[in-house]
Amino acid sequence: MSLKRLISVNTVAQLLKKGIINKEGVRILDCTHEPNLAVEKPGWKVFRKEFYGKFEKVYDELCPSKELYRSGHIPEAPHISVDVAFYPSQYERLALYPPDVFQEYAQKLGIDDGEHLILYARGRFSGMLYASKIAWLFKSYGHEKISLVDGGFEEWTRKGYDISKDDVKLKRGTWKANDNMTKYNIKYEQLEEQHGDKKYIEWTDDLNLLDARVRGQFEGTEPTEFPANVVGTHIPGFKCMPAEELVEEGLMRDNDEIRDWLDVHGFKSDRPTVILCNMGVQATMLAYAIESIYPHNPIQVYN
C-alpha cells in the first residue's frame, strides 16, 4: 500500500474501518513519551549491566509513559516506547542500539519485514515530536516506508474517533534491521574532524548547519531542557530553525509554507544538512519535514 509521509486522522480511520491496519502490510504504532513523568532511572553503567537489551524489564520498570498509552490510544496500536527503543550511554541520553539488538524489540512489537509503519504520539508539537524521533530511528535501521499522523492523538480525539484502552500485543514479527546509522546520524567526533584548515562543524559555507530548538534557547533568553535551568546559547555558524514552527493550529504546515520558511532562514537544498537540538528529538522532526520536501538532500541528525 502506498501512503503519504504525512497522513490525516481521517485516513487512519478509513484504514481501520476497512480492516487494513495490522492485516495488510500496514502497522500503526503509538509513540507516546512524556519525559517529565517522574521515575528514577539508573545511571548508564547500571543500565548497561541490568537493563541493556532487556526490553520487557525496561518497559515494566522504567517507562512511565505506558500509563498515558493505557489511558487511551488509537485502536490496534501497540506502544513503542522511547524509553525502550533507545538506551542511555555515557554521552547520549537516547543512544541507538546496534541493529541486531533493536531488531529484537521491533519483532517483539509484531512488526513484519516490508510493512508500512504509521506513527503517532501525543503532547508536544501536536503529537508529532516523538513520532518523528521513532521515524528517524527506523530510517537509521533501513526502514523507509513510514507515515506520521498529522496532529497526532489530540487531532484523533478532537475529531471524535473511537479510542481503545487495550494493551495491544501482536504476534512476533519478522522485521529485519539494516545499518544506516551513520548515514542518518552524526557523532561529536565526526563534527570535530579536521578537513584541511577547518573542522567539519566549521564548514558553514558548504553545509546547512541547523539548530531545531525553540528560539529562546537559541538566543539565550530561555533555559535549556537538558540540563534544566541552564540558560541557552548556540554554536557559531548554526541557523535557528525551530521545529515547533513547523506546526500551526495543531497541524503540520503544508509543504509550500515549509519550503518558504526554509528559504527565509537560509536553507540551501544543494548542501548536505546537519541538524541538532538538545538531545536529538526536535532535530528529527525538522529532518523529517525537510526530507519530505527535498528527498535527495543528505541529512544527518546529531543525537
Examine the domain organization and report whether 174 and 212 are in the same domain.
no
Contact (CB, 8 A) for 275 and 287: yes
Rounded Cα distance between 145 and 112, Å, is 12
Q: What number is the average pLDDT over the span 74-87?
A: 98
Name the one residue in this structure whose C-alpha cell is 557523532.
187
Contact (CB, 8 A) for 285 and 212: yes
Q: Which domain holds residue 217?
A: 184-302
Beta bridge partners of 208: 273
Examine the domain organization and report whether 170 and 244 are in the same domain.
no
Examine the domain organization and report whether 88 and 164 are in the same domain.
yes
Beta bridge partners of 210: 239, 275
pLDDT (0 to 100) of residue 229: 65
Examine the domain organization and report whether 215 and 269 are in the same domain.
yes
Examine the domain organization and report whether 197 and 59 are in the same domain.
no
Examine the domain organization and report whether 86 and 209 are in the same domain.
no
Q: What number is the average pLDDT over the span 222-243?
A: 82
- Looking at the predicted structure, is the pLDDT value of residue 144 above 90? yes
CATH code of the domain covering residue 252: 3.40.250.10
Tens digit of each residue's pLDDT (9 = 90 or more) over 249-275? 999 999 999 999 999 999 999 999 999
Query: Does residue 106 form part of some domain?
Result: yes
Query: Does residue 11 form part of some domain?
Result: yes
Q: All 3 cell numbers of residue 226?
A: 537538558
Query: Does residue 126 form part of some domain?
Result: yes
pLDDT (0 to 100) of residue 233: 81
Query: Does residue 85 form part of some domain?
Result: yes
Query: Does residue 1 form part of some domain?
Result: no
Examine the domain organization and report whether 211 and 165 are in the same domain.
no
Last residue of some domain: 164, 179, 194?
Answer: 179
Confidence category of residue 16, pLDDT binned at 50, 70, 90: very high
Examine the domain organization and report whether 54 and 152 are in the same domain.
yes
Backbone phi, then psi, for 48, in 5-degree steps? -60, -40
Taking Cα atoms as reference points, which of 195, 276, 200 lies closest to residue 238? 276
Per-chain mean pLDDT for the chain: 95
Rounded Cα distance between 188 and 178, Å, is 23
pLDDT (0 to 100) of residue 227: 65
Examine the domain organization and report whether 138 and 230 are in the same domain.
no
Examine the domain organization and report whether 131 and 47 are in the same domain.
yes
Last residue of some domain: 128, 155, 179?
Answer: 179
Residue 288: Cβ-neighbour burial (10 angstroms; 0-12, 13-18, 19+): buried
Q: What number is the average pLDDT over the span 81-92?
A: 96
Q: What percent of the chain has pLDDT over 90?
A: 86
- Looking at the predicted structure, is the pLDDT value of residue 133 above 90? yes
- Per-residue three-class SS string for the chain: CCCCCEECHHHHHHHHHCCCECCCCEEEEECCCCCCCCCCCCCHHHHHHHCCCCHHHHHHHHCCHHHHHHCCECCCCCECCHHHHEECCCCCCCEECCHHHHHHHHHHCCCCCCCEEEEECCCHHHHCHHHHHHHHHHHHCCCCCEEEECCHHHHHHHCCCCCECCCCCCCCCCCCCCCCHHHHEECHHHHCCEECCEEHHHCCCCCEEEECCCHHHHHCCCECCCCCCCECCCCCCCEECCHHHHEECCEECCHHHHHHHHHHCCCCCCCCEEEECCCCCHHHHHHHHHHHHCCCCCEEEEC
> Whole-model pTM?
0.95
Domain count, the chain: 2
Query: Does residue 283 form part of some domain?
Result: yes
Last residue of some domain: 150, 179, 208?
Answer: 179
Q: All 3 cell numbers of residue 83?
A: 524509553
Active site residues: 277
Lowest mean pLDDT among 191-195, 202-206, 225-229: 225-229
Query: Does residue 219 form part of some domain?
Result: yes
Confidence category of residue 228, pLDDT binned at 50, 70, 90: low
Query: Does residue 121 form part of some domain?
Result: yes
Examine the domain organization and report whether 99 and 193 are in the same domain.
no
Residue 168 has, within 13 A of its CA and on its CB side, a CA count of 24
Examine the domain organization and report whether 232 and 140 are in the same domain.
no
